[in-house]
Amino acid sequence: MNKEEFYVIEFPYGTAKINLFSVHLSTYEDERILACKELNRIISKIDKNEIIIVGGDFNVGVTRLGKGKYTFEKKDDYEEYNILKKKLKQLPNNEDTWFSKLGQGCIDTIFYSNNIELLKYETIDVEKKSDHSIIYAEFNI
């Protein structure tokens, strides 16, 4: 069943509609690019006064070599991120967030709408409980 669910969060000075997206994109670049274009299409339909936060594992630079085998290529620029930057701001994190025997890199981040202000962010090491670190961010809404 397709049903839109939303929650209203009360703020001291009123309410705001927050659109939260959690992503885990493909390990194939062409699929990630298509996913980011589709995400932009969805975001384009959201009212400009509403807040948008998109976070997760974007897998930028990751290529799947086979079952359980991946490689990472660090670049100065990723097409996937450039697509999303047309509509959103990106957290300026650059610390490695993914760790494996075959590579490591900064593949997790958060994008957010222009109508909120980033107050602080940090990368939190989970001490080998996961192959990803946590990205934490606080915003002024």
- Give residue 2's pLDDT: 46
Give the helix/strand (H/E) hosting 39: helix 29-44
Position 70 scores a pLDDT of 82
Amino acid of residue 19: N
Residue 56 falls in which region: left (phi positive, over 0), alpha (psi -120 to 50) or beta:
left
Mean pLDDT of each 10-residue bin along the chain, 141 residues long: 57 79 95 97 95 96 84 91 97 89 87 97 88 92 84
- Domain positions in the chain are 25-140
> Looking at this protein, which amino acid is placed at residue 9?
I
pLDDT given for residue 60 in this prediction:
95
Q: What pLDDT does residue 71 have?
A: 84
Cβ atoms of 15 and 8 within 8 Å: the answer is yes
Ramachandran assignment for 63, one of left (phi > 0), alpha (psi -120 to 50 degrees), beta (any other): beta
The CATH classification of domain 25-140, taken from the options 3.40.640.10, 3.90.45.10, 3.60.10.10, 3.10.20.30? 3.60.10.10
The whole-angstrom distance between residue 36's C-alpha and the CA centroid of its chain comes to 10
Q: What is the pLDDT of residue 10?
A: 65
- Say what the pTM is: 0.87
pLDDT of 5 reads 61
